[in-house]
Structure 1
């Protein structure tokens, strides 16, 4: 698929509304089938810090107007230094499904599938990653992540002391 095809399809989805969002990212599973047990344990330890991460984000009017298209462009621009491209993208609001193929240095390859729902008040997306390459213990890994973002209200005005330090703009 061309970038224009993906962006046109993504344009069918409702743009997120401006405001304050609570976003939770959770690693549901991570497997390294060919790795030695101590290597697999080390990976699980590294991922334990991000197994369930929550953040509050302030989406501006400008970001909301760009919709999900900017996020999809950033994903397609690359994962961990890999070059990625959409091989499929389908939007039937509120549902969306996408598949990306990525390649990187040293014969690194990755496939990413995303499926979920989007609305003006947030999104709920599950991502499945399959990666292989010499940089991965055991040669390959799979990971499932779930990202949920829900609008919780309006953003505090700029310079306001209402905005806790953990809120990203």
Structure 2
């Protein structure tokens, strides 16, 4: 379970740290309403973004406390490095919905269940499944503007046959535009 919880959290960090993203809530109104909602979404500002991630909760049931502390410490050290990504004008022109879809598709068997946007406020839920049959739920809430975001993410992972309980890893992801992309800089996927 520890491996799957870390893998799911890593996918989530990639998803949120690679730039702002937003998509309308999928509901019973159909494709026309979804398209109308997408047309109202703010655009991402192209440029270079700096991202930082911090763990706010780390529970892996069944692990001895010293091993839990070691795993958390390793994960915090990995995340302590601020990362930078470049979002091109072409990527930004696709809007947040398209960016979210590409990032989710790049993270295995994950799908966006809901995303609700009200101004800069955002909340949503993403469901994932690992190769071993573990199910993950990521619930997020925060703010996302055209040039910055501050999102708290609660991740819960349950694995078939695991009796100790679900793994729970919560984190905060902050991203901000720091300027134009440097010439020849790598573009975010």
- TM-score after normalising by structure 1: 0.75
SS at match of 2:43: coil
Structure with the larger strand share = 1
SS at match of 1:15: coil
CA 1:26–1:137: 2 relative to 1, 3 Å = farther
Structure with the larger helix share = 2
Q: Does the Cα contact within 8 Å between 1:13 and 1:93 map onto a contact in 2?
A: no
Question: Is 1:148 the counterpart of 2:170 in the alignment?
Answer: no
What's the counterpart of residue 46 of structure 1? 74
Q: Where do 5+ consecutive residues of structure 2 fail to align?
A: 1-25
Q: Does the Cα contact within 8 Å between 2:57 and 2:171 map onto a contact in 1?
A: yes
Q: Does the Cα contact within 8 Å between 1:30 and 1:142 map onto a contact in 2?
A: yes
Q: How many residues align?
A: 159
Distance 1:97 1:114 in 2: 5
What's the counterpart of residue 112 of structure 2? 86
CA 1:21–1:34: 2 relative to 1, 3 Å = same
Structure 1 residues 64-143: aligned runs within 5 Å: 64-77=92-105, 79=107, 81=108, 83-133=109-159, 138=164, 140-143=166-169
CA 1:52–1:136: 2 relative to 1, 3 Å = farther
Distance 1:8 1:48 in 2: 41
Q: Where do 5+ consecutive residues of structure 1 fail to align?
A: 159-166
C-alpha RMSD of the superposition:
3.0
- TM-score after normalising by structure 2: 0.69
